[in-house]
Each structure stands twice: as structure tokens, then as C-alpha cells.
Structure 1
Amino acid sequence: MPAARPAPLAVTAVLSACLTLATATAWAQASKLPVTPEQRRVADQVAAAGVPLSELAPSAPDTYTVKPGDTLWDISKLFLKSPWRWPELWGMNREQIRNPHLIYPGQMLVLVKVDGRARLEFGQRVGAGAANDTVKLSPQMRISALDANPIPTIPLALIQPFLTDTVVFDTDELAKAPRIVAAQEGHVVLGQGDLAYARGDFGGATDFRIFRNSRPLIDPATREILGYEAPYVGTADLIRPAEDRPRADGNTDVIPATLKIRLTKQEVGIGDRLAPAPQRNLDRYVPHAPDKALAGQIVALYGDALNAGQNQIVALNRGKRDGVERGHVFALWRDGPVVRDTTAEKAEAIKLPDERHGILFVFEVYERVSYALIISVQQPVKAGDRFTQP
């Protein structure tokens, strides 16, 4: 087969310019994503020597091609025993994997083992696609990959609805928030497209979320109120402000504000409260262990369930003031039961050891409370269960 002719100079220049621009844009965006100094420190240490083979997952593959739908958590779990130790995975080859947020579907990761240590490199398969084809290790930038999004840390679909559906207030401020006082044409409940009438201080906002009356989140240990969780009902747009309309007899009619219901998760009712809709930033949540000892308890399960399982959400009694960050990973513990030892001369009650049985991933943090996704679990989770650093 004749050798392929080189691209004309003009085409080469255009491709080079596009590649440079796209790469620069991707790097600029990724530079804003959270990578803590501690994570960089760990990655730098590992970059110098690689990871001990004892830290690799037992079935770590020699090569792996990143697929659409993969997450950083998935890939970390594939190569390492502890998925939250992603800085070590990233640090296996800092020369090529300079930013863990820029790993794309289609890229091949190659596990290289030398002198009892391991590291990752990017590679590309050379040959017809057979299992024994040669793998060529080389820095590479795939032009096609620039059109794809970098893989996320965890499946955002699991937490994205929650980021809209719930909010925690440090005080019971919803008690003073604008409230719906009447419904269109005497309706008792309202749905999408209906008009609602509300009174209160709107503070100049026009885009609102609608909540039921909030419930306190109470620390299982101290009984302190950590915040107020407000059940989400829907959204509404302010289409006409309130006004005080003078009457001929010298009195004034108080005309409530008019809102149009935009979306509903539940039926909107009289007495529901309004809060301005915040700007949401769906950062790439990067798993990492706390850099100091942290422990606490589960305050509540999100929703009405008595027990929670994998991929469900729980509220924790630790928040910003305690040093909790988005991306923190915690170990879940189940209290050891009290049993009777009948093997002694006189039977006595003994408490069995606590058992670790799951992993939590923190994705939303308030001042005194945070929310976590149950990544894995062996037994049902309930309010009062404790957690520690992994």
C-alpha cells in the first residue's frame, strides 16, 4: 500500500490551530475543577515512584479503554483497592495524565509494572484488534476525543435531581418567606401552568422554588438542630408584583403578587413557601479521603424510607464547620449487636465489634449538615448509623 500523502500545509495549519484551541479550552475549563493541595501532594509523591503492587486491585487489568458511561470512581475501583485513592491512580503517570478531569472515552490506559511498583500510561493499540496486538505507549491527543465530555467522577444522574429537589436552611427562614395565599379560580391545589397568588417580601427575585413547611434536622447525639430541610414542591415565575391599590373611600386594597407555576413535583397548595432559586454549579465531584479524623452519624434518610440502600441519599450531622468537603468519602459502620455468651459457666451479655459495611460519598455541604450518596452497602442503613474516615 502506498504511503499516505501528507496533508496540505493549509489543512495541517487549520487542524493544528483547532487542536490547540480545543485543548487550551479543555484545559482552561478543567483548571477550574477541584483538585486540593493534598491530592496534588499525594499524586506528586506517587509520580516519583509509582504505586506498590500490593495496592492494586486483585483483578487490575493490563489495559483498559475508557468507555462512555465510565466514571473516575469506576476506573479507580478497577485499578486500585480503594476507589477514593484516585490521586494515586492519577499520580501513576503525571507526565501524561496531568489532570484527572481530562480523561475521555476512547483513551487507553495501560498498567505498567516495574520493580514492584505500578503506574498508568496512555497507549494505543497497534494491529488488527486481536487480543495479542502490540500496545504502543505514547503521549497522545485524540482529535475525536475533544468533541466528547471528560468522564465524570460519579454518575451525576443519581444526585442531579436532589440538587434541585432539596435545600437546607440554617434557620427556619422559610417561616418568614413569601407564602401562597390563594389559587386561581378557587382551586385548592395547583399544577403546571396555573396561577398562584402570594404575599411577602420577594426581594426583587422573579424565579422561585416552592417548598412545603420545613422540618428540623436533629443531631442524634447532641439533639441540636442542625438545620431545616424543606421538601421541594415545584418552581414558579413572578409575573406580576404585589401592589397597594387606593380605593375611593380612602382605604387601600392589598393586591397579592401573581405567579405562574412552571414545574411541579407535587401539587402546590395554599400555605406553601417561596424561596429564590439559586444558581447551581454541578462541579465534578472528586472523591478523596478527609485530611483529618472525621466521624459522625446519619441524621436522616432522604425521603420517607425507614431504611436506605445503595444509590440512596442520607443527611449527615457534619458540615462545613466540621471540615466536611464535597467529594469526601466516609466509611459506614453498623453497631455490633449485644448477644449472650452461653459458653461460660454463667451466661453473660457481650457486645460484638462494630462492622464496616459501606461507603458514603459527600456531594452537598451546608454549614452544619451535609448530604451523601451511598456508593456501596452490605446491610440496610438507618438514621443513627455512624460514619468515619475511610
Structure 2
Amino acid sequence: MPVPETLNSPRRASRRSAQRLALIPLLCLGALGAAQAAPLPVTDAQRATAERVAQAGVPLSELAPNAPETYTVKTGDTLWDISQLFLKSPWRWPELWGMNREQIANPHLIYPGQTLMLVKQDGMARLQLAQEFGQGNGSNSASAKLSPRIRASDNLLAAIAAIPLNLIEPFLNDAVVFDSDALAKAPRIVAAPEGRVNLSNGDIAYARGDFSQASDYRVFRNTQPLRDPTTKEILGYEARYLGTAELTRPGEQRVNDQGKPEIVPTTLTIKTVRQEIGVGDRLAPVLQRSFLRYVPHAPSKDISGQIVSIYGDGLNAGQNQIVALNRGSQDGLERGHVLSLWLKGRQAVDRTGERKEDIRLPDEKHGVLFVFQTYSRVSYALIISVKEPVKAGDRFSQP
């Protein structure tokens, strides 16, 4: 059965009270931001109960209407595609897969060619991998050997991604986002050989700052503040990407022949250039590519916020575009979180009574966000589906 075109049309997912109760034990175990209030103590008995619930699966009523009994993963599939194939609410993937809190943070990977089997028992459903030897010996679906584990020899890069990587790679390659403290500490280019103004591929640059974090750096300039739509407080900074540079010789502090201290800057080699690079430009470590390990899941607590901006300076955004959010890791957001977009209810006039009255229609859910990058006070999300254009100030919440 082919995976549906999940990124072409939004799916309205109902959330029943039974679903909410089933989610609470699993999600309350999620890691929370360091700056949020300390959670209530969790007893060993409560933790054990939560682990059992987390691995029990989902009620049969939460399966998608046409969920297949088995599905063979294909090249080009994403975890979100498969989640929507099996579930009414794709963010319940951890329950369907029987994940505990540690597995959400460090999930098993899924590869093209593997077969997923839907196991139903006692009114619950779980998804597992059907091992090749179990299927090849004529075993029926009830007795086939099942396991969520992946062969150690499988190639990490061959695993399916959570969302289409081509949609977020421009951000992961080019975006330079800072918290205020990190911006102030960012290394900077201070000189070039022979007083050169512009640097190109292969040129040498000299820089000062802390280079202990990495050997490969992105070069940037012209930081723009990311402001909270309501409070106008600066949450972070977004900068213009210029290119990349590689550390070739560390700097040092030494004493010269006259016995005076002197500073020798770090030497960098310019590797790629998107725009001209020069003295005064700043540096940030190249992002580590961990996006293959995202798991779609709901936030562990009620959370709401607003769209800060559209990535790329657009006024409005649609499906498959990236937006900045005014909530970050300190608010409990983490990579893989699924959020709902809300359309503000319009003003209307009630003309049905004896006199006209102004009314405000209720807000309506009209889209889905997938968080793929978090910072302390700001995050970035991909618009998976949406009915109306998205703009700065629009509201989001847990699904």
C-alpha cells in the first residue's frame, strides 16, 4: 500500500478524553527545559506504571481507518508519512512503537526494505519490525518473531528521516541563530594576509575567540533580533550566512623576544563563499546533523505561543515553509514536538436579534507544525499542513 501524500492536505485529528489520559503517563516522563519549574516528585511505582502504559500501544480506535496490517518501508518514506498511515494522530507514534522516554530521545532507526507489522491484542495495537527469518520460514503473523531492533551494520545515512530533509536542509546549512550570550562570545575575523578586504575560497583569515567547540565554522554578519510578538523582548538573533571556514592553526598567547606578551590569532582557511567575507565577520560552529533521529511526539505539558517570523523574510508562509516560534528549550519545547496552528476567529456581526451585536468567532485549528531545531528561547518548525496563510503573531499550542 503506498504512503499517502501527507504533505499535500491537512488531516484533522480529533483528540478524545481517553487519548489524553493515555498520553499523560508517557509524556510526563519527557525531559523538560532546565529553566522551567521543577516537576512534582515521581515515585518508583508511578514511573513503572508510566513505562507500562508507554509500551502498551494505542487503542484500536486511534488507528487510521485504512491502517494496513503490514507495510514495507520504501526509499523516500518519512517517519511522519508512516505515522499518518497508521495513526489518526501521528504524534502518538511513541505509543504505537512502544517507546519509553529513553527511546524517544535515542530512537531506533528504520530503513527502506524493512517490514512493519501491526500487532493487535486486548484492544490495543503496537507496531513492530517483522524479522526476515520469521517471515521467511512460513510463520504466520501471530507467531512471527518481532523486534524493534535494527542491525548494527545498517548505514545511519540510509535510515528514513522524520520529515523530508530537502525542506529543512536550507535552514540547517545556512541559518545562524544565537542567544544573546552566544552572540556576544562569537569568534570574529580580525585580519587577513596583506590587508586584503574580501576573502574567497582557499584564502587565509585570522580570527580571535573561543575555538574549542569545533574545527568547522559558518561565517555570518548582520544579525537581526528575533522579538516576541507580544512583549517585544529579544529572544535571540538570526544572522546572514556568508560561507564556511576551517580551523587550520590554533592561536596562542606568548612572550616575544623583548619579554612582552603578544597575541597570535587563530588561522582559518575559507572553504566556501556564499557572499563576500571580510574582517569583522563572525563565526559559529557548523550544526551537528542529528535530524535523522527526530521522533514525532506531543509536548509533555500544555504549551502555547506565537509565530515570531517567517524564515527567509517572507510576510506569509504556507505548507513546507519554516517559521520561528517564541518558545524554546527552556519552555519545554524539544525537537520532534508536534504542534497545532490556530486561525484567529474573525469579527462578525450578529444580525439575528432585535439589534445588531459585534461578536468574535472562536479560534480554529488549521495546521500542524513539526519542531526540528530548538534554542533556549526560540525554536524553528516546519509547517506540515495548513489551510490559511501563516503570519507573525499567529498562535500555536500542543495538538
Instruction: Please tell me whether the aligned partners of residues 361 and 374 of structure 1 are also in contact (alpha carbons under 8 angstroms).
Output: yes
Cα distance 1:71–1:100, how it changes in 2: closer, same or farther (>3 A)?
A: farther
- 270, 280, 284: which is aligned to 1:271? 280
1:78 paired residue number: 85
- CA deviation after TM superposition for structure 1 residue 320, in Å: 2.0
Cα distance 1:187–1:143, how it changes in 2: closer, same or farther (>3 A)?
A: closer
Q: Which amino acid aligns with 1:57?
A: A
Deviations 1:197-238 (A, max 9, x none): 55x445567543211121111111222111122222211134
- 364, 380, 387: which is aligned to 2:373? 364
1:315 paired residue number: 324
2:64 paired residue number: 57
Q: Which amino acid aligns with 1:70?
A: D
1:300 paired residue number: 309
- 34, 43, 52: which is aligned to 1:44? 52
Cα distance 1:54–1:229, how it changes in 2: closer, same or farther (>3 A)?
A: same
- Larger-gyration structure (1/2): 1
Whole-Å separation in 2 of the counterparts to 1:83 and 1:47: 16
Compute the TM-score of the two structures, normalised by the length of structure 1. Answer: 0.72
Whole-Å separation in 1 of the counterparts to 2:248 and 2:58: 59
Instruction: Please tell me whether the aligned partners of residues 129 and 146 of structure 2 are also in contact (alpha carbons under 8 angstroms).
Output: yes
Using the aligned pairs only, state the percent identity.
62
Cα distance 1:369–1:102, how it changes in 2: closer, same or farther (>3 A)?
A: closer
1:139 paired residue number: 145
Deviations 1:13-55 (A, max 9, x none): xxxxxxxxxxxxxxxxxxxxxx97747966732654x533321
For structure 2, which runs of at least 5 residues remain unmatched after alignment? 1-25, 31-47, 100-105
Cα distance 1:37–1:265, how it changes in 2: closer, same or farther (>3 A)?
A: farther
Whole-Å separation in 1 of the counterparts to 2:362 and 2:221: 41
Instruction: Please tell me whether the aligned partners of residues 245 and 268 of structure 2 are also in contact (alpha carbons under 8 angstroms).
Output: yes
Q: Which amino acid aligns with 1:74?
A: D
Structure with the larger RCO, 1 or 2 (CA within 8 Å, 6+ apart):
2
Is 2:124 aligned against 1:111? no
1:330 paired residue number: 339
Whole-Å separation in 2 of the counterparts to 1:224 and 1:195: 38
Whole-Å separation in 1 of the counterparts to 2:270 and 2:383: 33
- CA deviation after TM superposition for structure 1 residue 125, in Å: 10
Q: Which amino acid aligns with 2:59?
A: P
RMSD (Å) for aligned C-alpha atoms: 4.1
Compute the TM-score of the two structures, normalised by the length of structure 2. Answer: 0.70
Cα distance 1:178–1:85, how it changes in 2: closer, same or farther (>3 A)?
A: closer
For structure 1, which runs of at least 5 residues remain unmatched after alignment? 1-34, 93-98, 127-132
1:90 paired residue number: 97
Instruction: Please tell me whether the aligned partners of residues 198 and 276 of structure 2 are also in contact (alpha carbons under 8 angstroms).
Output: yes
Whole-Å separation in 2 of the counterparts to 1:121 and 1:243: 57
Cα distance 1:195–1:121, how it changes in 2: closer, same or farther (>3 A)?
A: closer
Deviates more, 1:217-226 or 1:203-212: 203-212
Is 2:362 aligned against 1:353? yes
Whole-Å separation in 1 of the counterparts to 2:87 and 2:228: 35
Deviations 1:39-81 (A, max 9, x none): 7966732654x53332111221233212222222221211110
Whole-Å separation in 1 of the counterparts to 2:113 and 2:139: 17
Is 2:234 aligned against 1:225? yes
- CA deviation after TM superposition for structure 1 residue 281, in Å: 4.2
Aligned length in residues:
341
Q: Which amino acid aligns with 2:317?
A: A
Whole-Å separation in 2 of the counterparts to 1:187 and 1:110: 62
Deviations 1:273-322 (A, max 9, x none): 22344655446011111121111111111111111122222111111221
- 74, 77, 82: which is aligned to 1:67? 74
Deviations 1:122-169 (A, max 9, x none): 55899xxxxxx9954401689999545443333344334423422332
Whole-Å separation in 2 of the counterparts to 1:85 and 1:337: 32
